[in-house]
Structure 1
Amino acid sequence: MQIVTFKVRALEEKIEKISKDAGISPWNGPGGRGVAFTARLSNNQTVFSQQTIVFDDALTNIGRAYNPVTGIFIAPYTGRYMFSLSVRAQYQKQVCAEIVAEPEVVGQVAAGDTEIERASASLTVVTSLEKGNEVYVRETKTWTGHFFGDGFTVFTGYLLQ
């Protein structure tokens, strides 16, 4: 067991050295604290216009900056963040969603139609945030969006630097 522990530590040191030489940190955030989350809809959701979509099943929540009760990510540090959103419309329904980094919309996506049985769309954005800025996803249509759950609709974010 000691040999395995020694080899693992040696590999960790190599990763840290390669990362440092490349000018990146394997652990995001000041002082090596990570910030990353992936949350999904556990069930189908009907969401009204301008309503925040609450991704209730947080698969990853490093740094605890995403709140699966409110659906809001609060930036714990000033920096550049990457956010990704994948949506799937319920069968023969429509969804339109946008990522909001208060006060502005940083990306929009739409999927679905009454003639399409399964429709998905995704987007990825990079934005600069100040500590305390809120980021969330909301429905954008003037009527309702019918989002497919079961892990098909997913919101992800992490601190780049």
Structure 2
Amino acid sequence: MPTYHLVICLILVLNCLEGSSSWSTSREPVVAFTAKLSKDTTVRGHGIVKYDSVITNIGRAYNPKSGIFTAPYDGLYTITGTLMSLPSNSVHLRINKNGQKMSLLYSASKTYPQSGQTLHLLLNKGDRIWIQNANPQTAKLHDHGSYNLFSVILVHVTHV
């Protein structure tokens, strides 16, 4: 049996033994999404990146038309963003929570560097997360469905 199957079995057994634990998977709502860019994309100055190819959207908290994730529950969330720009430009993208910068992604010009950030944030129901161009000039992102991702998962609900 592969190691990950053993780990999953152990977690399930521990959850059963804990019974009343708030970490029990049987009571936790599931919220998770991952979206990527399907093609090279130009984002206007300070514009929100709209990740158009949705891989997963459990809980439907991500809106691909706006590029915004809205937290459906109070809880601890893991947010991940990755970036690769075209060699013709350097790019700074901001990961925002309700308009406040939480982190930056950077990709230099004249090469194909990739960068990524992962954040663990406490969010309140209704908080909004998005990734946007941090600069006033347009940003040219390089992609063919692999390099530029935006992903959020609910790790634990703090209030229902």
The interval holding the TM-score normalised by the smaller chain is: 0.7 to 0.9
Percent identity over paired residues? 26
- The Cα shift of 1:142 comes to 2.3
Name the Cα RMSD after superposition.
Answer: 2.2
**Distance 1:98-1:25 versus aligned 2 partners, 3 A rule:** farther
Q: Does 1:62 align with 2:81?
A: no
Structure 1's unaligned 5+ residue stretches are: 1-11
- The Cα shift of 1:26 comes to 4.4
Q: Report the Cα distance in structure 1 between the residues aligned to 2:71 and 2:82, rounded to whole angstroms.
A: 21
- The Cα shift of 1:25 comes to 4.0
Q: Give TM-score, length-normalised by structure 1.
A: 0.81
The partner residue of 2:97 within 98, 101, 104 is 101
**Distance 1:18-1:39 versus aligned 2 partners, 3 A rule:** same
Structure 2's unaligned 5+ residue stretches are: 1-7
Q: Does 1:152 align with 2:147?
A: yes
- The Cα shift of 1:43 comes to 1.0
- The Cα shift of 1:135 comes to 0.7
Q: Give TM-score, length-normalised by structure 2.
A: 0.82
| Code of the aligned partner of 2:151 | T
Max Rg structure: 1
Q: Does 1:137 align with 2:131?
A: yes
Q: Report the Cα distance in structure 2 between the residues aligned to 1:14 and 1:125, rounded to whole angstroms.
A: 27
1:62-109 C-alpha deviation (Å, 9 max, x unpaired): 111111111110100011111011000013322110111103111111
Q: Residue 6 of structure 1 aligns with which residue?
A: none
